[in-house]
Structure 1
Amino acid sequence: MAVKRHPHPLNWQWRGYATNHRHPTNLVLHLIAVPLFILSTLLLLTALFQLRLLPLLLGVIGLFAALALQQHGHRLEEHAPEPFLDRQDAVERLLMEQFVTFPRFLLSGGWWRAWKNRRR
């Protein structure tokens, strides 16, 4: 049975992003975790090209730490993100969130609006 994917995943992810990112702890965790994810990915790729073990291990640890922080933050939200359809969906959505959607949320002022309207 074929898995039904969203035809425009970036638009779909963006539409629900503010709803799934309102809790103040989750907002702060994303400010830490997304840059950690991006830096860890760059470190991991550099380590692969240079064939260096320590940066490779640090990159993997950083990726797992970033994802764990975000997972914890999402558990605090009143509206949880839609579950992943499969492994491919998980990888695609996680990469989109880290490299496109969260930076867009931050730079567009969405993060600040969510922070100002956070539950006290």
Structure 2
Amino acid sequence: ALARDLLPPASMDALAGGALLAVRRARGADLPRWMRLGWPALAALFLLVVWSDPGPADSTWEWPRWMLVQVLPLVPLMAIVSACSSGLGGVLGRLAELPPLLFLGRISYGVYLYHPILLAYAVKAQPWIPLNVS
């Protein structure tokens, strides 16, 4: 399970989705209509699957469930990336340009890279921390 979640091929679906979006944009095409209109339903379905399913009781369903949870949010995420790459206007655009959010955007990749190390230290320091961090 760790290899499935942490090795670079685990992100190939999202990378491929971004590449397809870039190719469409380079050819002057926007997202297909079904993606623009259907992403809220797919996002709701994803949330329903994640919140209602306690996980597979049988290990034969672990991989299919993982595929569903990993692939289902790609269309909503691609729709959001497409909208953001075109530029956001109005309230949402002003919200996205708040200084704290811009700062978070600048440091987010570093936070992504270093958070496992900090989490490992927090788990090792568990005896001295009054809260359960594991």
TM-score interval w.r.t. the shorter chain?
0.3 to 0.5
Pick 1 or 2: higher relative contact order, CA cutoff 8 A, min separation 6. Answer: 1
In terms of fraction of residues, the more helix-rich structure is 2
TM-score of the pair, normalised by structure 2: 0.34
Q: Which has the larger Rg?
A: 2
